[in-house]
Structures are given as structure tokens and as C-alpha cells.
Structure 1
Amino acid sequence: MPGVGRPLVKMSAHLPSKRIALAAPSALYTLASSNSLAASLPLVQRRTKWSFSNLFNRGSNARQSDSGQNLDDPKVRARVIAQQQQSKPPSLSDSIFEDEVKAATAEGKGAEPSRHPLQQPVPPEAIAWRLDPDPRSRIRWERKKVIQMVRRHTAAEEPSEYSRRTARIAASERQLTHRSPFLETSVKKLVMLARQIQGKTLEDALVQMQYSKKKMAAEVKFHLEEARDIAIVSRGMGLGNVNGSTTTPIKIKTKDGASLKVDNPTNLYVAQAWVNKGTPRQRRVEFKGRGKQGLIVSPSTSISVILKEERTRIREYNERVTKEASRKPWVHLPNRPVTAQRPYYSW
């Protein structure tokens, strides 16, 4: 008898995905249209020819089955689907998928989906607690951030102590910065003259440049006179006391410790002097022995000076004296907690 020895296995979840996909529409339609699962045609599936039982029975008829139908055959599958469509559509009372089908039908019509029995509506208090678990901490944090924002905004608008001090000095004291054009000399030569006039009064600086043997001393003297004229005309510096008033001479000390007697606070002095390297004026080839050659570069340098009045030097001297007077006496081993990286003294 054909088919003997070939076990028949019902369709299960372990079928290949291709067969499940092909049988899924007909199975769902059967659940929705059949009177009961027992009334539907028994879907019996045999194993393929590559199964364990057919490896030794290749000569037998693998296309037919007495107790089931071969759903792999398109004709058989079409005939089964046609028979299922012609059957009378019963209810879903006996189906295990009754609840799912009704829920899907209700959602498709726009009705509110049924809620799971374990899913309870979340109360508003729980939602509020999840969104804002600690209102007092949140309020404190917001207040802190607002204070920080206001402080930053206020600090950005209000000038600092350094800015106020700079503005106060600029309103009471005058200065002039003057820079010469590039001269035909090097930085090494011109920096010596800049150091020679720095910190001296304008009259002493002119005398130094007048009797200097340096080639650029005449140029530096010319630019010092030019800076003096500009300071007097444009800034009103060095004009003497107002309305012929007299001032008492003051003895001060400069930053380098030299003593100085100031008769008139409006006298000019060279507060700063420095040089700047410019672009080379020209380059020429220098021929050397053994067929070698070099390059001769002609440099250019400028000198810049800052002219101030003696009242600025008097103020700086008074600030140094005040700072030294307010300084505490130095102690070799002061009685204070040690907070450095090494918590002991290095004797």
C-alpha cells in the first residue's frame, strides 16, 4: 500500500517560513469564516523528500499521500482554498483567536481598543510625580540658575576695578605714543639707543642723542623732537603750571632705585622705548671663494616711544610707598596652616 511507513505530521510552529507564509491567509480566513476548527478541512502536511524517513525510500511515490493532502502542490492548495471559501461562514465562538479578531475588527472600525485587564489607567498624581518628583528642589535649582544669569549679565555690563582705575588714570594723566618710520639700521644697533633714553626726562634724552657717536642718534633725536611737538600741540602736555602757579619740588625714586627731583609735574619724560624689526630693504649676492656665494640682507628697524608727564611718575612712586607701608613683616616660619603639596617644611 503506497504511503506505508511514511509518518504524517500535523502543521506546527516549526514549519519552514515559506510554508507558513503561504498557508497563513487561508488559515486566517478559515478561523474567521468556519463554524468551528473541527469543521474545517484537516490540514495535514508530510515531510519533504529530504526528511529523515525519505532518505531510504526515494523510489516510493513522494507526491501523494493517502491520509493527507500535499499543500506544496499549487493545484491542491488552490482546491483547498476554494473549498474553504465555499463553506458556510460560522461564528468564532470556538476559536482561540476570538478575542484578537474582535479587537482587530473594533480597531479597524475606529472604536477604542480594548484595554488589557492588567493595564489600569495611570492617575494624574502618578504622572505629575514622574514629571516633577521633587518640586522644592526644582524651584531651588531654577532660582540658583536665575541668580547666576543675573550676576553674569551684571558683571558683563559693569566695568571691573581694573577698568575703572584705568579710566580714572586716563582722565587725570596724559600720554603720547609715537613711532618712527623704518630706519636703515638693524635691531641690534638701534636697541642700544632705545635703552639709553628710556626712563630719562625728555631734555636729558635729547642731550644724550645730541652728543652720541652713533649714526642713528641723529634720527632718534629728530623723532624725539617730533614726538614732543605732537604731545604739546595735540595733547597739551608739558605746558607748565596753570595760571603761573608754583609747585614745591618733590624728591622721588624711580623703579630702578635712582633718586630724582621733580620741579614741575608737567615735564615730559620717556616712559617706554622699544624697537620693531621691519622688512629687509634689499638683498644682494655675496660671492665667496671656491665658487660659493652668500646673501647679504639690508635690515630696517623703527623706534617707538611713550611720553608721559612727571605726575604719572609721582603717582607710581606714592603707590609703591603705600604698598610697602601696608606690607606685613616677613617671618621665616609664620604660624599658619600648611596647605602646599608637601605638608612639611624643607629645611
Structure 2
Amino acid sequence: MENTRRTARTVAAGLCAAALLALPAPAQAHGPQRPVPHWQIKDSGTDVRFRGLSAVGRDTAWLAGSKGTVLRTTDAGAHWRDVSPPGAADLELRDVEAFDARHAVVLAVGEGEASRVLRTDDGGATWTEAFRNTDARAFYDCLAFFDRRHGLAVSDPVDGRFRILSTGDGGRTWTVLPGEGMPAAQDGEAGFAAGGQCLVASGPHDVWLATGGGARARVLHSADRGLTWTASDTPVPAGDPARGVFAVAFRDRTHGLAVGGDYRAGLPSPRAAAVSGNGGRTWAPAASPPPAYRSGVTWLPGSRTAALAVGPTGTDLTTDGGRTWRTVDTGSYDTVDCAPDRGCWAAGEQGRVARLEP
């Protein structure tokens, strides 16, 4: 999953239009001329790959990456503090869920005991290991939280079903949920620990799980915090361990986006995006999808129709709710996230991190 391009360019004027969708009509018609938003690279001070990202706001964001690295900024990326857990250098951190500048939960992925959950309540000054997987068959991929207390983590199938881990105390303790409510997995089906968005929540109870590797790329949905699930096929190609849906985003419990493709460099990824208007029960292919594999997707705050998708070869923008996409930047990113105050961040290989400006 190595990236091929690392240059950063100004996001096209279409992104400016998307940002303006969140403004009141008078501001659009009579307000002062605004600069075109663009990804502004921030110096993270490291060369590790960041697949975990949590945007708290325009000033505060958390990154989680290889070599057990966790970074945090509270000054809009001008400085990054290394708050990595002690003794975690051998861990692959692929997801982080932050509640504010002090409280965060990170997920380490891998087989057996390599899969762990760690939590901090003091901005990363100290960490507590909240969960360590002891089942050699499990491989945890992603985290998602409904609120500051309730969250889930997902493992690739064990005994033919995806395994769900649940917390009700902010990630301090975790319990494996019963598997009876989970549909049977397809042969070879798994989640992708590619950008922390294979498991996402919206509202107090709804959560979606993106899959690939099986004969069909699917999105599974639970309306009761992971106790019972239904599965829906998507038009994103699968049938290979490297293909499927890598990330989903829901702006509410109804409107969803799915992106993915084939992560192998240089291989085509047709139909790499899909859209749902009924909570993930059915999915339609994007009429004009991103031109290549994408591993991250997020709705732009305040807009009902604009979203960004990122991957090794660029950033794509939709302004019609996911039906059509166009590339607006060619920089390499693995993950993207936006906070309610319109603070949008992206991160990826070689310590790459950027904030959407202005």
C-alpha cells in the first residue's frame, strides 16, 4: 500500500464552493471575497505513516501511526507534541478517537496480542492499556464512538463472524459482544485497517462496518450499538484480498458514502465509490467516481452535499452528495477527518499532515 505521489497543490475552486455551502446565503451574495481553501502542509517532525487521525477542531488534532507514534497539536499544527505511549514502538497504531485535547483512545492492530486499545486522560502524558487481545484468531481494525462513553472496535471474522468489542465507560474497559446478531462472513471477507474509517458511528445508536476481500464488498449496519447487524452489498468491486470498501462516512443516520477500490499501486479501481440515501440498506455506484483507490472519506461540516475523499494519489471532492467526484489535489493522504467547527485535517505517509486552509 505504498503511495506514488507526495506533492501538495492548491485545492481547486470547487472546494471553495463546497466550503461556501455551509455559509448563510447573504454571506455568499454580499460577503467579502474569501481565499480558495487548500491543504496546507504542517511539519509533524517525523517520517512515520499516520493512518489514524482525529480532528477535535481547527486548533486541535491527534495522529496515530507506525512505530507506536501518537502526536497531538493544540495550535493548528504549528507544533506537534510527541505523546506516544511508552514501550509502544513495536505497535502499529491505525486509529485514534479523541474527545478533546486531553482524552483520547488509540487502537493498535495486528494478530493476537498486537491488537490493543490504549487510553489517555491527560493529553498523552500517561497511558493505560485498556484491552489486549488474547485470541490469536482476532485482528482488530477500527474504532468508533457514539459519544464520550459508548464505543466499539471491530475485528476481522472469528469463527465465521466479525467480532465486536464494546465499551460503555469511554474506553476504560471493553467487552466482546455476543456474535449471534452478526451475519455470517463471506469467505475471505475482512475489514481494512487503512485509515480508521472501516467502522463509523452517527448518532447515539447507529454504526456501519465496511468490508472487502470477499466475493462482494459489503457495508454492515447496526441500529443498536453493535448487538444486531444487517448486511448490504455495494457496487464497489471485491473478489480479491486487496479490493473492497475501505471507508464509510454518514452525515446522519440516512445519508452515507463509501469509498475504496484496489489498494495495490498502479492497479485500476473502477467504481471506487458508492452512495446510500437509506441508511446503508442499498447502495448506488457513483456516476463519476474517484479515478483511483481511496482510503478515507468525510463530509464537510455544515454541508448536506459536499465531502472529501483521500488516497495515495489525491483528494477528490463531491458537491452533489457523492454522485460525482473530481480530483482537486494530488498529494498523498491515507485518512481525512473534519470537526464541527470546520477544522478539516488529512494525514498519511512520511509524516505527512495537513489542515484545510483558510
Q: TM-score interval w.r.t. the shorter chain?
A: under 0.3
TM-score (norm 2): 0.17
Task: Report the structure, 1 or 2, having the larger helix content.
Answer: 1
Which of the two has higher C-alpha Rg? 1
TM-score (norm 1): 0.17
Q: Which has the higher contact order (CA 8 A, sep 6+)?
A: 2
